[in-house]
Structures are given as C-alpha cells and as structure tokens.
Chains A and B, each alone.
Chain A
Amino acid sequence: MNFVKRYLLPRLIIYFLVIFIGITTVFIIPRLLPTDPVLQTITRLRAQGAYMDPESTQRTIETLQELFGLKGSLSDQYVKFWQRLFKGDFGPSFFQFPTPVMTLIKQSLPWTAALLLTTTLVSWLLGNILGGFAGYFSSRRWGKILDYFAMVIRPMPYYILALGLLILFAYVFPIFPLGGGYTIGMRLTWSWNTFLTLLRHAFLPALSLLLIGIFVWFQAMKLVVQSVKTDDFVKYAEIGGIKSNKIARKYVIKNAMLPQITGLALSLGQIFSGALITEMVFSYPGLGTLLYNSIFTGDYNLLMGITAISILVVTTSILVIDLLYPLFDPRVRYK
C-alpha cells in the first residue's frame, strides 16, 4: 500500500499530466504555424494542373475547411480532437485526404519499427558492453583502439557517414542496392527470398545507424564507468581480491547501467519520430518522411497523430522504466 501511495500514484499522476500537456501542445502548435493546410492543398491541386478562378478557389476553400473539420471555434475543434483520440482516431490526413491518419502511420510504422527497434537495441547492447569494458580496462590496447574509432565516427555528421557508406557499398562496390525497401518490381510474399531481399535493402541503413549508435552509447558508458570505478566500493572489492572481470561486470557495469536504461527508454520512444535522414539517404520507407511532409504541408492531423503516439510511447516507456527501477537499483527499493 505504501508503494502505491508513495511510489506508483505520484508517477501515474505525472504520467497522465505529461500526456495531457504534451497532446494539448501538439494540438496548439501546428495551428500557430503560418502554413494553412487548406491553401497548401489548393496549391497542390494547382500543381496538378487545376485552373481555378478566384470564385472556384473560394468554394474549394470552404469545402475543404468543412471536410478537414477546420470549421468552428478552436475550442470546438479541441473537444472533437479529444473525442476522436479516445477512439484511436486522428481523423483524415489533409494532404492525403481522405486517407485516415492511422492508415498512413500503419503503412510506415512496420518499416521504422523493424529498422530502428533492431538498431536501437543492438547499438545499446553493444555500445554499453564495449563501453563498459573499455572504461574499466582503459589502459588496454583494444580499449584504446575502440576509443580512436569512437573519436572518428562519433562526431562525424550522420549524413556524411550514411552517404559515404552508400557510395562505398552501393556504388564503388555495388554489393547493396542504392535505395528502396525491396527490389523494384518485386511482389512481397512470405518466402525466404523476400526475407533476404528485405534484409539486403535494410543492411546499409541499419549499418549507418548502428555505427553512430554504438559509439554514442560506447562513449557515454565509458565515461560513467570511469567515474564509477573510482568509487569506494570498487576500491574495497579490488582490495578484497575479487577478480577484475567480476568487478567490471558485477560492480562497475551494473551500477553504470542505470542512466543508460533511462536513455534506452527515451531512445525507444523516439523511434516513433522515424529516422528522416536515413530514410532520405537510403530511400528507405518509414515515419520520418511522413512526419517531415506533414510539417511541410501543414497536415495538422497527421502531425498530431505521429507526435501524439510518440508522446504516449515516450511517457509510457519512462513510466515502465521508472516502475522497474527498484529491480535494478536497490537504493530506490529501500527508500
């Protein structure tokens, strides 16, 4: 009961408050943009060759405002927004009218989830393991080599790294394709061939994310480990004659993992914003370009849909990690 009152309840209140404030902000901010989705749509219609005299334009503006649900006061729109949200409906995309926002997200999400979930977890795992040991055994040669790699790759602009990989492995040595999620003209089926094709197309985008991701975690972990290893309990363990491998694993890395776990929760939540540059460089499908286009075209509903999901996932991940924290850190349990 004490756990619920002192630990769970305050966190749940904060959880719902953050979601409420976040989603309300997501509702308001796009409406402050100078981009008008109706005019953007009309511009697109003109780009499709539609010649409209001003009378037709005015009629179209009114029709689109009606269809987009942009008529009525801001408070009416806000209430309707929450009503729809509780049903898991973000309404139609303005730019890709009348396709529902959820349909668009569902189309792109599997690509993003598969790519980013894998690369986030793998880079977190490898980066922390390597960083942990390199931090503890900082005088070893392999640790220094890893450090040099990190110093070269970590500050490299991601775009340059990605483009470099693409030029090297898709142009100079054309081992991997220049872009796309799978081969042009191919129809996706449940087969080994499809799986291999998907894997081959995902390889370079994944490699670029892994390289950056691993060394980001590596450097962060190494710094934390170097700080932890000077703590008194580590000194005592060393004096006590415990083997250095065991000290690294059980004493140092375990303690240094705590901030990294919070970092992982945040990274997992950010998956839902997609990886825009990766998608652009490798012409890879995903939520990044969807989000970018929604901002660019003033597609409020789509923008709200993606960011609201992102808010939900980030806050939920943090809540879950927060609730699991006592399992990792006994000090939290004892409080």
Chain B
Amino acid sequence: MKKLLTVLLFFSLGLIVFAELTVPRNETLIVNQLTGRVGTPGNFNLWVGWKWSDRGLQNLLLEPLWCVEYATGEIINALAAEPPIYNKDFTQLTIKLRKGVYWSDGVPFTADDVVYMIELSKNTAGFAYNSQMQEVKEVKKIDDYTVQIELVKPNSRFHTYFLDRWGGFRPLPKHVFEKVSDPLTFEFNPPVGTGPYVLHSYDTGGYWTVWQRRDDWQRTPTGILYGMPQPKYVAVMTYGGPDKQVLAMAQHQLDAADLTMEALRAVLMRVSTTRAWRKDYPWTVNIDPCVTGVTLNNMVEPYNNKDVRWALALAIDIVEYAGNAFDGAVTISPIHIPLTKSYMDTYFTRIEDWLKNFEIDIGDGQKFKPYDPNAGQRLAEYAKKRGYPVPKDPNEIKYIFGPGWWKYAPDVAEKLLIKNGFKRDPRTRGWLLPNGEPWKITVYCTNTNPAHPAYRNAFAVAQEWRKFGIDVDVVVFDTPTVVQQGNYEVSSDWPAAEPWGGHPDLYRVLDPFNSAYMVAIGENAAWGNYSRWTNPKMDKIIESLRLTDWNDTENIVKLGLEGLKLLIEEMPTIPTFNYPGVVAWDEYYWTNYPGAENMYSQPYHHWPNLKYMLPFLKPTGRK
C-alpha cells in the first residue's frame, strides 16, 4: 500500500508541472465566475439578452459612462468626463465624454459611438434598453466629446441607465456594429472594448474565458484613472459550488472565490495564504449595497394593518435572529437601506436622534419607543461569547455589527395585537386571528440556495415568530413570480429596492412605492415593492425627488431622510441586515486586495469595478 501511495504521489508531483493553465500563472489572476457556465461561449454581444456579463465583459472588456463605487460612496466618471448635466426642467441631458480613450482595435471613442448606441437601441426591439430609450426624442453630437439628449418627458434620472451598477447601458463600438446586418444575432466575436483587457481565449464548453491586458492600456479610463492593471492575464473560471472553489484555492488555482460561510471557514483554516474582506471575524463583506429582510404583503389581511406589522417587528430578537441566520456575522440595519460606510455616514448619523425619539401608539393612550440603540453592541457581545475576537471601540462595533435595531418587546407586540382584536388560544397560547382562526404564516423564500441571505432570513424569522406563538412554515421554491404577483403573505425577498450604492440619491429605493405603479393581486408588482404598499406622503417625496437634480446632494439627502422615516413609521417591510457577501482571496500570487482595513475598492470580482481594482494589486513574485 505504501509503495502504491509513493508511486501515486511521485506521479502526481510530476504531473503538477503541467499547470492547468497555458498562460503564466504568476502573471494571471484567476477569479470565479459567479453566474456559472456560459451558455453561449462564442457570443460576446451583451447588448442582446443574457450574456453572463461577469465572464469579463463588464469587469474587464468594457467601460461604462459612469460607475458606482460603493466602497467609497462615489460615482466614477469613466467614459464620461464629468457628472451628467441637465437643463432646468430635466428634458435635456448633456454628457461630456473623456478624451484620449480608444477602442481596443485602435479607433478613438467619441460622441458618435454614444449617439449611435442610443439610436440603435431605440430602433431595435429586443436590444438592450430598447424600452428605456423610447424616452429619447433626439440625440445629437455637439462635438466629438459632447452628446446632447432631448427627452420626450422630464426625467432627472435618465442618466442612471448609463450608470454601471452590476450592469448598465455601456457604449458599444459604432464602427463595428454599423457594418452588421442584424445587431440581434451578431455575436461580437472577437469583442472590441474600451476597457483595459481584450479576449485571449475561451472555452467552447463555457467554463472559462481568459483576457489579456491591452498593450495600450493607457488609452482606457482604467489606465487614465488608476494606472496599469497588474495581472497581464485574467482568467474567469466556473469552478462550480463552494466545495470546488475551496479545493481550487487549496491548490492555488483560484485567487478570488464566492463562498458560503462554512466554505470560507474551511478555506481560511486550510490555506494559510487566504484572507476574507475582514481579516478577522465576522469576515463578511458588509458594504454590499443591498439590505435584506422580510417582506409583508400589505394588500392581504392582517398585514395591511400597521400595528400588526410593527408587532411582527417587535417579536424579533435581532441578536438571536442574526445568530441563527449567520452566526452573528452581519451588520444589522433598522432602516430600509444597507448600512454601508457611506450610507451610515450620509443617512444613519442624520436619522439616529430621530430614531431614538420615535414612538409608536400601542393603545390605551400609551406610547412606546421601539428603537434599541444597543442592539449592535448586544450582537457584538453574542459574538464575544461565541469566542470570536470583537473590537472594544463602540464606534468600530457600530460599523461592523450595526448601530441599533428594534427592541425585542414581545409584551408590546402582544398589546398591539390585542388592540387589533387578536387573541391567544387559552389552551395552546398560540395566536388567533381576530376572526378566531389560528394565525398561520407561510414565509415564501424564492431562493433555493441555503447560503443565500433570503434563505437564512426566512428560517430565522420563522424561528422568532414561532417562539412568539405564531404557527409559521417556510416554503422554498424557485419561482419569484408568485411573490411578484402578490400570491403570498410573507416572503424573504428584499424589503426595499437596492439603492445606487455609490450616491446619496434614494430614488431607486423610494420610486417603486409610487402609487401610480400599484396593481391588483395577480398582476406584476413593481420590483422593490412586492409589499404592495403605497402612501400619499411617499408620492409627494418621490415627486420632489424627481424635481431635484442628481448633483443637489443636500436636498437629495433631505428627501431621502423623509422617505426613510415614513418607511419606518409604516414598516411595510422589515429590514434586518446588510447583504453579507462572502468572498475569499488567495494571496499566494497576488496581494493588496481591498479589505475592511483598506477600502480602496468594492471587493467583488464579478462587479464591473474589478478593472479598477487591478492596478492596485501587487504580485508576490512567486512562480
């Protein structure tokens, strides 16, 4: 047996020489492809249908006009030279373009490209942003680096269609597309881009794509803004599930992985050169611009009653909840936006005093202050008891575990329910609806991945409400349509639409609550408002936001705060914690990845910002 093992080991060591890569490993960054195997490997036309844009199309090949950077809270002017310029009534948008940018085939990028892409999209059904571009009355070139767009009706956020936020309408090369007879079936192979990398090779089976740094990387926005991307090659590989990624990382065949908490712990324990976003517990990325939680269907009884919604929020012990969901490795958020560093600074610090003084009416003339400013501290205590290292500085704790949340007050929740005719079954102590029937909740989870926050939220909330005396079931399935069409009571879909992430504007969060979009059950609700809640006050806030320029930060924040306060008062959905992203990096070949201690860039390799991170990486020199 020993002999056999020795022979196998010897044989395998010999074979390691045949690296699983034809380009030099020490010059290559290998990242996992989040969206999995590419179904159309030879087709790079991402302006038509789904094209697995994180295979390198959005993160290496192409540049947008603007890009969200949620680590710093800024908007990067990429192909655009400056922020958008609107006229007074928001019917005209002027875009100034960056000079000195060239397509990868040597043709200069100019206003002609932007004018052409808008006209092509507007006139081609099935092309990306075709429906949105119907808002364009006319688009014209003022000079080689200025584009002017006349709109059919005022839209102060029209430019956000061109804002890259894991997608956006990115400029395409006019000189390539204008020669094509059918832009829908055109495969755009080999692709031509304004980003710092060009296609090197791809797997016809769809598992990997290799990109090579452009010789003229200086003529790309990435090169102009940040310098030379360090890896000469980037390989985007679909390794499969977290187990496979851990194996690949252990062999230093993968530099950036998308993992589950369990897989992350395994890789950190087994591979000494790996690290996560935060070097110590809780490891997870807490600057992801999404807030997770629980969505209640406000068109269905008893969730159309504000008191019931508040009772359900107060029946949650957020520390226990976060412990059950993610072993406490989350940043809790009591408001309907994620508490990334930038939103914490822009919004939370401005709303905190209001939260502390906020009261709800619990009947019999009694008021109750539901905000618990120490919830984040309590979560840190929980982590400490679990044996994890926790900082002592309360401010640091606030940024890691969150500031506060709603009090765990089952007694107050009980009062709110009794006030509305609910009763406890004298025999079982379970809750009865006002009509005397047992209160049974089915929590719908439309994500079947057990590592996903929607999944974890569903089971965590079920646990809390069961403890409170409600009969709760969780149903997990793959069909978001059921929730979108309102055929549910409670779901673990996002409690509100994601904000831009890199700008204080909350239009993206608040606009879906516009009453103009409200539809009956059975029809598709607006994304971001599956709770089907509206309020005339919210309509006014949205209307005011529409009349506020994107660059008018002071008024944007003021209106955003008003919107957030209204959402808290009404609690149509219950936000719980920031999306906890789980990424791991191997520092065997490359180092200086962004991290909680060095937040120069957002952390995800599948986001378009990967190209802006690459100039900061440092090779370790290992062969």
Question: Do A and B actually bind?
Answer: yes
A59 within 8 A of B: yes
Supposing A173-B12, A283-B240 touch, asked if A59 and B131 sit within 8 A by C-beta, the answer is: yes
How does the 8 Å CB contact mask read for A275-308 relative to B, with 1 for contact and 0 for none? 0000011011100011001001000000000000
Q: Does A179 contact B (CB under 8 A)?
A: yes
How far does the alpha carbon of A151 sit from the alpha carbon of B206 in the complex, in Å? Answer: 37
Let me know if B207 and A283 touch, CB within 8 A: yes
Q: Could you say which residues of chain B place their CB within 8 Å of the CB of A218?
A: none
- Complex contact A53–B12 (CB within 8 A): no
Instruction: For A35, give its contact among B165, B240, B481 (CB under 8 Å).
Output: B481
In-complex Cβ contact of B524 among A57, A99, A107, A293 (8 A): A57
For the complex, give the distance between the alpha carbons of A48 and B131 in Å: 15
Of the candidates A46, A66, A96, which one forms a contact with B39 in the assembled complex, judged by CB atoms under 8 Å apart?
A96
B238 in contact with A56 (CB, 8 Å): no
Report which residue of B20, B161, B481, B526 has the largest number of chain A beta carbons within 10 angstroms of its beta carbon: B20
Cβ–Cβ contact A181 & B21, under 8 A: no
Q: State which of A34, A47, A48, A182 has its C-beta within 8 Å of the C-beta of B203.
A: A182
Q: Are A98 and B49 in contact (CB under 8 A)?
A: yes
Which of chain A's residues have a CB closer than 8 A to the CB of B553? none
A52 at interface by CB-CB < 8 Å: yes
B residues near A66, Cβ cutoff 8 Å: 125
Q: Which of B79-87, B242-250, B415-423 contacts A (4 or more CB under 8 A)?
A: B242-250
B43 adjacent to A99 (CB under 8 Å) = yes
Name the contact of B239 in the complex, choosing from A187, A283, A289, A293 (C-beta under 8 A). A283
| A137 nearest CB across to chain B (Å) | 29
Task: Give chain A residues whose Cβ lies under 8 Å from the Cβ of B53.
Answer: 48
Name the residue on A nearest B133 (C-beta).
Answer: A56
Q: Which residue of A lies closest to B129 (CB)?
A: A50
CB-based contact A34/B479 at 8 Å: yes
From A124-132, A140-148, A164-172, the one touching the partner chain is A164-172
Contacts A49-B167, A95-B49, A285-B206; is A178 near B239 (CB within 8 Å)? yes
What is the bound-complex CA distance between A184 and B29, given in angstroms? 12
Most buried by A among B23, B130, B163, B207: B207
Task: Find out whether the CB atom of A170 lies under 8 angstroms from the CB atom of B240.
Answer: no
Q: Which residues in window 301-321 of A have CB below 8 A to B?
A: none
Q: Scan residues 191-206 of chain B and give those whose CB is less than 8 A from a CB of chain A.
A: 200-201, 203-206
Instruction: Tell which of A34, A36, A46 touches B527, judged by Cβ atoms closer than 8 Å.
Output: A46
Contacts of B16 in A (CB 8 A): 174
**Interface membership of chain A positions 22-64, coded 1 if the CB is closer than 8 angstroms to chain B and 0 otherwise:** 0000000000011110010101111111111110110111011
A186 interface residue, CB < 8 Å from B? yes
Within 247-283 of B, Cβ neighbours of A (below 8 Å) are at 247-248, 250-251, 253
Q: Max chain A CB contacts within 10 Å: which of B21, B524, B526?
A: B524
A157 to chain B, nearest CB (A): 15
Q: Given A59, A61, A167, A173, which contacts B9 in the complex, CB threshold below 8 Å?
A: A173
Inter-chain contact B244/A283, CB cutoff 8 Å:
yes
A95-B39, A95-B50 given as contacts; is B248 within 8 A of A50 (CB)?
Answer: no
- Tell me if B166 counts as interface (CB < 8 A to partner A): yes
Cα distance, A164 to B526, chains bound together (Å): 46
- Nearest CB in chain B to that of A51: its residue: B160
Nearest chain A residue, comparing its CB with the CB of B14: A175
Which residues of chain A are near B244, meaning CB under 8 Å? 166, 178-179, 281, 283
Do the beta carbons of A185 and B49 come within 8 Å of each other? no
Residues from chain B with Cβ under 8 Å of A60 in the complex: 130-131
Give min CB distance, B6 to chain A, whole Å: 11
A283 to B37, alpha carbons, bound, how many Å?
8
The reply to whether the CB of B208 lies closer than 8 angstroms to some CB of chain A is yes
Q: When the two chains form their complex, are residues B185 and A98 in contact, meaning their CB atoms are under 8 A apart?
A: yes
Do residues B201 and A187 form an inter-chain contact, with CB atoms below 8 A? yes
Residue of A nearest to B236 (CB): A184
- For window 1-15 of B, CB contacts with A under 8 Å fall at 8-9, 11-12, 15
Are the C-beta atoms of A178 and B251 separated by less than 8 Å? yes
Task: Answer whether A171 and B250 are a contact pair too, CB < 8 Å, given A107-B41, A280-B241.
Answer: yes
Enumerate chain A residues within 8 angstroms of B75, measured Cβ to Cβ.
none
A72 to B77, CA, bound (A): 45
Q: How far is the CB of A287 from chain B (nearest CB, A)?
A: 11
- Interface residue total, chain A, C-beta cutoff 8 A: 66
Q: Which residues of B contact A97 (CB under 8 A)?
A: 48-50, 126
B168 at the interface (CB under 8 A from A): yes
Return the contact of B166 from the options A48, A167, A170 (Cβ within 8 A): A48
CA distance A110 to B319 in the complex (A): 53
Interface status of B484 (Cβ within 8 A of chain A):
yes
Please, which residues of chain A bring their CB within 8 A of the CB of B208? 180, 184-185
Contact indicator A98/B48 (Cβ below 8 Å): yes
A181 CA to B204 CA, complexed, in Å: 9
Chain A residue at minimum C-beta to C-beta distance from B39: A96
A104 adjacent to chain B (CB < 8 Å): yes
In the bound complex, do residue B39 and residue A175 qualify as a contact, i.e. CB atoms below 8 Å apart?
Answer: no
- CB-CB < 8 A to A50: which residues of B? 128-129, 132, 161, 167-169
Interface check A67, CB cutoff 8 A: yes
The listed residue (A46, A63, A280) touching B240 by CB distance below 8 A is A280
From B8, B165, B203, B484, contact of A49 by CB (8 A): B165
Most buried by B among A51, A59, A167, A174: A51
A177 at the interface (CB under 8 A from B): yes
| Residues 148-167 of A contacting B (Cβ, < 8 Å) | 163, 166-167
Give every chain A residue within 8 A of B128 (Cβ-Cβ): 45, 50
Residue contact B40 to A99, C-beta cutoff 8 Å: yes
* A98 and B126 within 8 A (CB): yes
A283 to B163, CA, bound (A): 34
A182 to B21, CA, bound (A): 10
| B311 at the binding interface (Cβ < 8 Å) | no
For A95, the closest partner residue in chain B by CB is B50
Query: Distance in Å from the Cβ of B23 to the closest Cβ of chain A?
Result: 5
CA distance in complex: A186, B165 (Å)? 32
- CB A275 to nearest CB in B, in angstroms, measures 14
Q: Does A188 contact B (CB under 8 A)?
A: yes
| Contact of A111 with B by CB under 8 A | yes
Contact check, B524 vs A179: say whether CB atoms are below 8 A apart. no
22 A-B residue pairs with Cβ-Cβ distance under 8 Å, sorted by A, are: A48-B53, A48-B166, A48-B167, A59-B134, A63-B126, A63-B131, A95-B39, A96-B40, A99-B39, A99-B49, A173-B8, A174-B15, A175-B15, A179-B240, A183-B21, A183-B22, A184-B21, A184-B30, A184-B235, A185-B235, A285-B203, A285-B204
Which residues in B have some Cβ–Cβ distance to A below 8 Å?
Answer: 8-9, 11-12, 15-16, 20-23, 30, 36-37, 39-41, 43, 46, 48-50, 53, 125-126, 128-132, 134, 160-161, 163-169, 184-185, 200-201, 203-208, 210, 233, 235, 237-241, 243-244, 247-248, 250-251, 253, 478-482, 484, 508, 511, 516-517, 524, 526-527
Q: Which residues of A contact B (CB under 8 A)?
A: 33-36, 39, 41, 43-54, 56-57, 59-61, 63-64, 66-67, 93, 95-99, 104, 107-108, 111, 163, 166-167, 170-171, 173-175, 177-188, 280-281, 283-285, 289-290, 293, 296
**Known pairs A48-B50, A49-B166, A289-B36 / 7 extra A-B pairs, C-beta < 8 Å:** A49-B165, A50-B129, A56-B132, A99-B49, A173-B12, A179-B238, A184-B30
Q: Which 10 A-B pairs have the closest CB atoms?
A: A49-B167, A285-B205, A48-B167, A185-B22, A59-B131, A97-B49, A181-B205, A173-B12, A56-B131, A54-B517
